[in-house]
Amino acid sequence: MPDKPIEGEKRVFMTGNEVVAWAALVAGAEIMYGYPITPQNEIMHYWTRLAPKYGREFLQTEDELSAGFTTVGGVLAGRKAFTATAGPGNTLMQEPMSMAEAMRLPTVVVIQQRGGPSTATVIYSQQEVTMTTLGGNGEGLRIVYSTANHQELFDYTIKAFNTAWKYRFPTFVLGDGYQAKMRESLTIYDPASRGIELVEAEPYFGKPGVPGVDRPPTQLRNTYNVEEELYEVLEGYFRDYQKIAPEVAEHEAFGLEDSDLVVVSHGVVSRACKAAVKELREAGIKVGYFRPITLRPLPVEAIRETASKARQFLVVESAQGQLARLLKEAAFGCPVEMLDLFKPGVGITAEDVVSRVKEIVG
């Protein structure tokens, strides 16, 4: 049995779903629990081909609820466990992920967004932002990375496992059907070759020693008897989350210093926006580019700084304002005007963005 899935690094040409499987392998994932749904199916397919070669495991469950709860169980047993889903499967996944929030469990979920609501299309959208960032009957105590390309799918899948196990919050990689299915060049690598130290998993139960004598007892709860008890626990969670938010939040931006209009987008749509902004700036039109990489927690400080200087945000997304709602909350009280280019469930091109910007600036 080979020691490592990848020695050093190498250039490859893969679908996004295959990229996720390889990334999970090198991140040290030990088991995937899953149920098929397009467009994430091939994550399962590639994982089941690769996993036995490296002593890893897979369990196909009867539905997404079971996939989520077995992932929770795997984590409780001290395994680096993950799952993947999309669309209606993501809807079902919110119940087990709410339990993971309640118990502060480092679950990892890869989402390949598809059109909605309901079955809709199996192709693409950015319509699972609200559900992935704030889903379940809780307060969104989770971490969400929104990827734009295959290299990021690889990088942030590795990072998701480290983030989850370091901070003990459920962590999501938010991709989409375009990224899942298309092929693209990227560099895959052994994390150690780049100085990335993997955070080790540890069991929640069955640790050596006598609980309460040799070590603190393990007590994980998702139910409480009185309101005040729940409130006290949540207040502690909120403090922890607010403390790590500045460390976790990520964004990229350029052209902000001289621009009254800033194009804001996330995920695969940011590729079109980046190309459009570069084209516009080369044509002498001063427009900026801002992309939150973490949608939960948002890079609030950077958003507010940008919103305090720019006159207008053009929010571009393949949804009817799901990113925009997050931005409005983050930028509350800032004088920036929010404009939009919304195409729910439909791809957005650089030409679409250029046309909308020219319409705005006249």
Tens-digit pLDDT profile for residues 227-253? 999 999 999 999 999 999 999 999 999
User: Among 51, 7, 62, 8, which Cα is nearest to 28's?
Assistant: 51
Alpha-carbon span 190 to 126, nearest angstrom: 30
Please determine, looking at this structure, whether the domain spanning 251-361 carries the CATH number 3.40.50.920. Answer: yes
Tens-digit pLDDT profile for residues 132-163? 999 999 999 999 999 999 999 999 999 999 99
Residue carrying structure tokens 């890869």: 110
Tens-digit pLDDT profile for residues 182-229? 999 999 999 999 999 999 999 998 888 898 899 888 889 999 999 999
Are 9-194 and 251-361 in the same CATH fold? yes
- The pLDDT of residue 218 is 86
Alpha-carbon span 289 to 252, nearest angstrom: 8
Tens-digit pLDDT profile for residues 296-342? 999 999 999 999 999 999 999 999 999 999 999 999 999 999 999 99
pLDDT at 1 over 70: no
Alpha-carbon span 76 to 201, nearest angstrom: 10
Tens-digit pLDDT profile for residues 338-354? 999 999 999 999 999 99
Write the CATH number of the domain with boundaries 9-194.
3.40.50.970
User: Among 96, 87, 86, 40, which Cα is nearest to 66's?
Assistant: 96
Alpha-carbon span 339 to 264, nearest angstrom: 10
Phi-psi region of 212 (alpha: psi -120 to 50; beta: other; left: phi over 0): left
Domain spans of the chain, in order of start: 9-194, 251-361
- In this prediction, residues 69-96 reach a mean pLDDT of 97
